[in-house]
Structure 1
Amino acid sequence: MLDDGSTRFCLWAPGAAHVQLLIDGRAQAMARDEEGNHLLITQAPAGTRYVYRVDGRQVPDPASRAQPGGVSGASMVVDPADYAWRCDTWHGAPWHTAVICELHVGALGGFDQVCACLPRLAACGFTAIELMPIASFQGDRNWGYDGVLPYAPDASYGTPASLKAMIDEAHRLGLAVILDVVYNHFGPVGNELPNYVPEFFRADIHTPWGAAIDFCRPQVARYFIDNALMWINEYRFDGLRLDAVHAIQPPAFLEEFAAAVRRTCLPHGRQVWLILENEHNAAGLLRGDYDAQWNDDAHNALHVLLTGEHEGYYADFAGDPTGEVAKALAEGFVFQGQHDRRGISRGEPSQDLHPTSFVLFLQNHDQIGNRPMGERLTCLADEADLRAAMVLVALSPMIPLYFMGEPWGCRTPFYYFTDYDGELATQVREGRREEFAHFSGFADPARRERIPDPNALETFAASIPRVTDEARAADWERWFAGLLQLRRQHLVPRLQDCYALGCEVLADKAVFARWRLGDGHYWEMALNVSGNDVPLPRDPATRVIWIEPQDAMDALDSGVLKAHAAVVLAREMQDERLIA
């Protein structure tokens, strides 16, 4: 919207001969410039519904700010300045202070209901929340990775104003807000771009979702860069997590994107985080404008260690999971150029990177929801081992991330869910079941029929996190909050200029890692998720920060780390105390 109350409409469609703007059925011709942009300035106040007619085909605005009637309905004009922000003093937080909880807005009931959850998350010790993608998608429920209108928060979650109110409240409580964005593809329903602007895509590169997006075109690159700037500047998100950037070609776009975010329209002193998911383990990106990458390697090795699973991508970590956990703690990535199970060389050396360049986790939406039955680790791993591993994540110098419900030991599943109908619904259901045909537990077609239908309402309903045992949940949450309090008190202030000193394999399923903190102190962690006690001579100069379980202290004093245990130690500088 412009200062005089009019609205500027612009649609890039270089191959279109005639483009019109339709408001209340009244068509207005749009003028074409030399770059193929079709432009019109007209009176259209906030709330006005409109569509474009491109060579006779009606389509929503690909940069629509709101789609009240869904992805196939009319777009709505939104005034980006119509929300009165209350928390104007918030400028973000340094990345090394991040402790992240990943949330699915739909499973929690929408923006207003997420807002109601924020005080509990802040009290638990989280400093940031991460929203799974919220861009408009087909139907009323979706993981979010099938979005087709990336500028419009999905109407099933609430209005743009309710999203801003949620972010405003998070900032009031001291919580940063990260948004997961999908720039590598569009969903299968509602994406009209191929029909009137095929130039948006590349016919020579195909992805699992169809023709690749053509990031070499300046207009396409600008479309996604401007989207990021909208979320950061208009909605005041504190960071973006870019989904599966290994599917983006050319990789140079990632550098262009990050540089544009860093230099454009950011108020002085604003802290904005950029986080990657990247199978290529491109360590070079983490030496530039990106803060961190989700460390799937570390997760996969820890998952194998805790569960013994070895199918699918866990096969890459089944040979020596203990050694690979040690490598991840010492160097970041496990794959730094070697070949994976498919014979593909991937990864770059990462041992020089700061520990906070890696986001460490035991669970997230992918690693739970991409399982056939959506089980959480509370249903797969020994509880004592799981709690010991959660200590490792909470008190490692890497950035910890947890999935909604994890702090209180949630046991309800989190399934993959969509809201398609007709032939697409059948394809999604049968395709998902066939995806697991090579897994030993689902080779029998009758067993695959038990995999929940992603389109069934009950599949979504079952994925809503629920407390089934109030006393147990309260105990877990108190315990978890204690871990985060220790991180905030003793580790976070010393994370800058921290670096890893190495990680020793003590025995099968047992490791001992060491870091030098920014003030010269040493931080040591030992994890033993085996069924056997292991020797761990303790230097008398170290102080125990945390031991799990508590009754493992006597054994530690005798030089032994008990089975199913973890310990965090601090080695003090001479004549200085780490703990006041």
Structure 2
Amino acid sequence: MTERTWGARPLQDGRWGFDIWAPAAKTVSLVLDGQERAMTGTDGWWSVQTSAAPGLAYSFRIDGTDRPDPAARAQVNGVDGPSLTVDAGGFDWRGDGAGDWAGRPFDEAVILEIHVGSFTPEGTFAAAAQRLPELASLGITMIELMPVSQFQGRWGWGYDGVLIRAPHPAYGTPDDMRAFVRAAQEQGIAVILDLVMNHFGPFGNYIPSYAPDFYSSVPTPWGDGIAFERAEVRGFFRQAALGWLDEYRLDGFRLDAVHQIRDGSEQHFMHELLHAIHAADRGRPIHLICEDERNLPDLRDAGYDAEWNDDWHNVLHVALTGETQGYYERYGDDPFADLAHTMARGQADEGQDKGDHGARGAPAGHLPWTAFINSNHTHDQIGNRPHGDRLLSLVGDDTGRVIHAALLLMPFTPMLFQGEEIGSTAPFPFFCDPPDDRMRDAVRKGRRKELGALGYDLSDMPDPCGPTAMDMACPYPAPDPDRAARWAALTRDLLTLRRGRIVPLLRTGDTGPGEVSRPCAKAFRARWGFAGGAIEMDLALGSPVGEALDRADFTLGNTATDPFAISVRITA
């Protein structure tokens, strides 16, 4: 049986198809450019084909009430109003050198996570594109866009989107986003999108009113659970993902919280999506990264490239700050031992029994090192603090430079957060824009209750619903240009070494788990072996290693005497 297509799509000779799944509706019609057209209903699907053109307003009139298209590519004005017909085929991808973009292999990935709204003072795709040459010159090879699916309100992190296929209009038009992707690829930078498929935002989501079967009875932490056991639902999200790839020439996805994508099976949908994406040859590799708090290797074994490895961040944070509140608690007993385990095998939790903390994960040391996305912080860890503090703000520049070097010179796939490449200490607090005072008050109270229960100091906490919360998150321009220049030079040197010496080693294949010893309680001597050589690292994170690594390719401080220092030797 041919799968039905969600939304509006151009056909041939000026005709378009319009389809929506509304099984609870008695009548559905299309309102196109002010004219109502009857739609035919079969098995909960409602369809019509008619003459249309790009840029026309349309809505689905469902039992007398006009609703936007849940698969809209753009809106006339906000998430509540009519949608707009958009033909992605009219965009000129030739540009100034990326017309034949062939992508980048994943072993070259150095990821920079950005939030378009706070990445520049302007908060637009067009402004973000102006910063790409500088990033490319440092050695950034991949941009990970935090979610851009349209949500209600003017500002937000993006994880409360309700129109999954429409770029948030505050950032620009669909063609503005395409132009950003083209500009990045012209600089040799791949672009992946953080795609949220596990829930919808609380404001402006109308699907429950005409398709209650879209949802399951088991909620997620962020909203109603989604019925991925239904073919119509799986088709909606699979078509959305394929549409982003093909209409925006993206290089892949980071898939948010896939442990909350539940379909009553061993993640049938995730395997189905993987196969659907790999079924087509797009002339470039498509990279697929998951966020999965279960710490299981299953999806990576099946063909997903990598997972966010929060273990690295969490144990590093506990080791350096001593904080053990919230999710840090399970690493509080011996964070330096956990850190050694993470360096040797990729992640700290591999199914070991941690007593009161329970068991989590499964062995993952057989995976390639690139299958672990390591970061010293992400939007999550920064933003879920009252003041949005970066780790660098907590530990200072001397320690910060050492862990920056360690992140970029280990064999794992490194990811930076916007501004980290220049040593930014700009906060990244939580921010959103609820539709009314009642909801704004609820958000404020909820944040204070949640964070207060963890023992945080809530004095001077930015208003999460105020526009200054997002404004203060922009890390550029740096307030101290000389300091930023020194950090940029360090990043450039590290990534030059990674590109020239470490990436070729990765391509020879690793020879098993790393070897990590602890000469002192807070010092590490690590070796990662490859068929073509090895990476050796002495890392002091509070106590000297005890002796210097000779013939090092990179040093920062003196690992024999300094409490915070790093030395790296690469052999081939």
Q: Does 1:451 align with 2:488?
A: no
Which of the numbers 492, 499, 509 marks the counterpart of 1:481?
A: 492
The match for 2:183 is: 169
Which of the numbers 267, 275, 299 marks the counterpart of 1:259?
A: 275
How far apart are 1:24 and its partner, in Å?
3.4
The match for 1:27 is: 36
Task: Give matches, 1:67-106, under 5 Å.
Answer: 67-86=75-94, 87-106=98-117
TM-score, length-scaled by structure 2: 0.93
How far apart are 1:501 and its partner, in Å?
2.9
TM-score, length-scaled by structure 1: 0.92
Task: Give matches, 1:44-443, under 5 Å.
Answer: 44-86=52-94, 87-107=98-118, 108=120, 109-203=123-217, 205-250=218-263, 251-263=267-279, 265-267=280-282, 269-338=283-352, 343-420=357-434, 421-442=436-457
Contact 2:501 2:570 in 1 (8 A): no
Contact 1:332 1:351 in 2 (8 A): yes
Contact 1:528 1:561 in 2 (8 A): no
In 2, Cα distance between equivalents of 1:400 and 1:132:
17
The match for 2:536 is: 524
In 1, Cα distance between equivalents of 2:38 and 2:111:
48
How far apart are 1:537 and its partner, in Å?
6.3
In 2, Cα distance between equivalents of 1:345 and 1:13:
43
Aligned residue identity for 2:442: Q
The match for 1:11 is: 20
Per-residue CA deviations over 1:378-433 (Å, capped at 9, x if unaligned) read 21003211111111110111000000101111121111110112211111111011
Q: Which runs of 5+ in 2 are unaligned?
A: 1-9
Aligned residue identity for 1:566: I
How far apart are 1:283 and its partner, in Å?
0.5
Contact 2:345 2:513 in 1 (8 A): yes
Q: Does 1:471 align with 2:482?
A: yes
How far apart are 1:157 and its partner, in Å?
0.5
In 2, Cα distance between equivalents of 1:534 and 1:329:
16
Range that drifts further, 210-219 or 500-509: 500-509
Aligned residue identity for 1:460: M
Contact 1:355 1:500 in 2 (8 A): no
Aligned residue identity for 1:41: Q
Per-residue CA deviations over 1:37-58 (Å, capped at 9, x if unaligned) read 1101111210001111111222
User: SS state of the match for residue 219, structure 2?
Assistant: strand
Contact 1:104 1:131 in 2 (8 A): yes
Q: Which runs of 5+ in 1 are unaligned?
A: 443-447, 572-577
Aligned residue identity for 2:440: A
Q: Alignment RMSD, CA only?
A: 1.5
User: SS state of the match for residue 129, structure 1?
Assistant: strand
Q: Percent identity over the alignment?
A: 41
In 2, Cα distance between equivalents of 1:361 and 1:211:
30
Q: Number of matched residues? A: 550
User: SS state of the match for residue 523, structure 1?
Assistant: strand
In 2, Cα distance between equivalents of 1:340 and 1:190:
42
In 1, Cα distance between equivalents of 2:445 and 2:324:
24
Per-residue CA deviations over 1:18-49 (Å, capped at 9, x if unaligned) read 0011123321110112x321101111210001
In 1, Cα distance between equivalents of 2:497 and 2:364:
28
User: SS state of the match for residue 519, structure 2?
Assistant: strand
User: SS state of the match for residue 485, structure 2?
Assistant: helix
Contact 1:262 1:289 in 2 (8 A): no
Q: Does 1:567 align with 2:567?
A: yes
The match for 1:575 is: none
How far apart are 1:259 and its partner, in Å?
1.6
Aligned residue identity for 1:481: R
